[in-house]
Amino acid sequence: MRPAALPGRYAEAVAVVRGELPAAFTDGTAAAAVAGWAAELARSPLPASLDHNDLHPGNVLPGGRFYDWGDSVVAHPFAAALHPLGVIRREVGQAAADDARDRYLAEFADYAPTDRLRADLDLACRLGIVARTLTWARAAGAGPSEFADAPRRTLMSLLDP
């Protein structure tokens, strides 16, 4: 899921999604957007690293250790924030998510100015949806039917503002 690989992985995600997708996913609009975002993220001053790709409280042990690395990928380090920031936004609100984002980014202040880090985080989280779509597709193929539409819903969120 490194930035250079994301356009190809996006094509894989579209191919595995069952059900109807909006025209933007079939007419090349979303593919072009992904390619542009990936090219921009590839210029980030931060190198790719290991991304858990399923980080949520259920995968954190006491003492702050993580487990269940089965969905992990090599990606931009900010892609790891996709799920945690989304949960904070939904459960506590946008202001809390912005605060959590800024506290997280403070650890990377030596790499780039805050505005650049925020832009990279936004791109990495948006593009992290590609990895989550493929993870959901694997889970939906082997799991209960209640998850059957999760890959499609996840991929469609790629174009949410």
Tens-digit pLDDT profile for residues 20-61: 999 999 999 999 999 999 999 999 999 999 998 888 788 889
Signed CA dihedral, 73, 77, 82, 84: sign only: positive
Model pLDDT, residue 142? 66
Q: Which two tokens stand for residue 20?
A: 């109807």
82-107 pLDDT, tens digit each? 988 998 999 999 999 999 999 999 99
Model pLDDT, residue 143? 60
What is the percent of the chain where pLDDT is above 70? Answer: 98
Of 30, 18, 17, 25, which Cα lies nearest the Cα of 127? 30
d(CA 88, CA 97): 5
d(CA 107, CA 115): 14
CATH number for 72 = 3.90.1200
Residues 12-35 as b or e (16 or more Cβ within 10 Å = b): ebbebbeeeeeeebeeeebbeebe
Position of tokens 């790891």?
80
What domain range includes position 62? Answer: 3-159
SS3 assignment, position 111? coil
Question: What are the beta bridge partners of residue 18?
Answer: none
Total domain count for the chain?
1
Decide if 105 contacts 117 (C-beta within 8 A).
yes
Decide if 91 contacts 141 (C-beta within 8 A).
no
